[in-house]
Structure 1
């Protein structure tokens, strides 16, 4: 199958740890799919903050994953390794990958791929896997968000945030968000947040207490860390669940654990990239059952802020690090 494909391809190399300028197109051997893997001709690749951390030298790929950055892709299946049963040549898929997404071809485990939703472009499909896997496993599986509960999403205008707002609303929660500008707050409300709090101007603890009749919020999705850790504890309701998925303001904090005990809070968190094939496959199955019907019906859609050609990956990272974007940044091929 793959012997009719080019032996070489263009991918983005991290020439050394550093700023966006270290991302350079280079030629390398095209990967071959192993047992249970599919080879995808990449049409679009999502850009995520972990890519920028890897570029700076602080987030090594899991063992066996390519050094090339890129955690989510969309395109066409062009080859399959031994044992593949879920997909056939010509299928259009999007997939979560351990690395290698910034390239013309990328290998994915068959169980980590999902069909491109009905009516979706490759750009829209490439914006799904990393964010939807992350939101589903953290908000719905770890934190157990249920209809009728309240959800506070920090970084509401990010790729993760815009996804969490939409899914929280679709599954019957009251959703609040924090963001850093009037435009970003307006975007959060457009996507389904009942209220968006400009954290530069207002205290999210006081605002969420007011919005919930002083009860606090049931679930908090936090990617900020730092001083937000203690403030989340203040903002949480009785039996609240606080899920940490990133630490833009640092991963250490001094906190008073008495409110954790008195409110019976759950503090949890997770990372996605190092998880096992089986764990990621389980998340993919849940998404296909619970979330993909919403995408197919057009009831949920990723918000795309900007696209860049693959060769301009450095410009995509510059935009990511300015944090002026709303929604997803995607590379096109």
Structure 2
């Protein structure tokens, strides 16, 4: 089968499309014929040598797929050949075929094509887990979402609005401001032109917000603490700019603040299945009814993976970058 591989570490020159052996299903895995897959920041970091694939997982990039079931392991139950499925995988998504654990496989909702399904799983699982399982977001509360034009950010905005929460968002360009406003965000700040701390405190009468979703890391930590309300919670979803920083611990103690971290790929499979089950229970019906849709920035054929990686590296994308393999328009 064809697969994207990184032959060394570095820039676009290390990205190759090669013929590799087709994976063989393990006892609880499906073999999926991939019709679409989507980029994540970890794919770019892996190419650059800044992300190490967890032991036992595929070195082929790609952590979410949508396609049809081709075969399965001896302990798999409840699936049929040709069934349309999507889900988060442990690497291997940028290929014609990929293994998908049966506990991570979800049926593609009617009305979704393969590209939409591929753009859904990782963003939705992460957004649900961080907003609600870790952040306990409730109707009537407010949340500050950084990097709100990213695939996870655009999903968070939609989920928060769906439950009746107020959404304050930061982005990095005027174009992204307009895109996130179009999703229904209550306020969107261009961090190059506005101080989000001042703006959020102004909008909340100085109280701050009970929840912050941060993808930036150390560079924003002190300011994020400054915008949290008493007993507020900061969830670190990513570390795009700063793996470490100094922090005022007294502020955390006095205001009883909470700091939580989130990772999906590094978790044991049992926990990933639990994350998947929570998402399925809460959001699959909403997806099927059209109440939540992935934002897709662009679709590229697998052969143009470097074009897609370049878009992500330049931080131009609003929502997901999707790679397609063959026909992807089927709703059957």
TM-score range, shorter chain: over 0.9
Q: What TM-score, normalized by structure 2, do the two folds share?
A: 0.96
Report the equivalent of 1:4: none
Does 1:304 pair with 2:296? yes
Give the whole-Å Cα distance in 2 for the aligned partners of 1:319 and 1:87. 36
Maintained 8 Å contact 1:66/1:99: yes
User: TM-score, normalization: structure 1?
Assistant: 0.96
User: How far did 1:58 drift?
Assistant: 2.2
5+ residue gaps in structure 1?
A: 1-8
SS state at 1:111 partner: coil
Moved more, 39-48 or 253-262: 253-262
Give CA-to-partner distance per residue, 1:244-263, whole Å, 9 cap, x none.
Answer: 12111111111111221122
CA drift of 1:168 comes to 1.0
What is residue 5 of structure 1 aligned with on the other side?
Answer: none
CA displacement at 1:138 relative to structure 2: 1.4
For 1:218-237, list aligned pairs within 5 A. Answer: 218-237=210-229
Alignment of structure 1 residues 1-333 onto 2, 5 Å: 9-333=1-325
Distance 1:166 1:20 in 2: 33
Question: 2:151 & 2:12 partners in 1: Cα distance?
Answer: 19
Tell me by how many angstroms 1:226 deviates.
2.4
Partner Cα distance (1:168, 1:152) in 2:
10
SS of 1:312's equivalent in the other structure is helix
Give the RMSD, CA atoms, in angstroms.
1.0
Supply the distance in 1 between the matched residues of 2:214 and 2:123 (Cα, whole angstroms).
14
Offset of residue 196 of structure 1: 0.3
**CA–CA distance in 2 between the matches of 1:55 and 1:203?**
33
CA distance in 2, matches of 1:186, 1:239: 32
Structure 1 position 152, deviation (Å): 0.7
Measure the CA separation in 1 of the matches of 2:184 and 2:110. 22
What SS does the corresponding residue of 2:34 show, helix, strand or coil? strand
- What secondary structure sits across from 2:277 in the alignment? helix
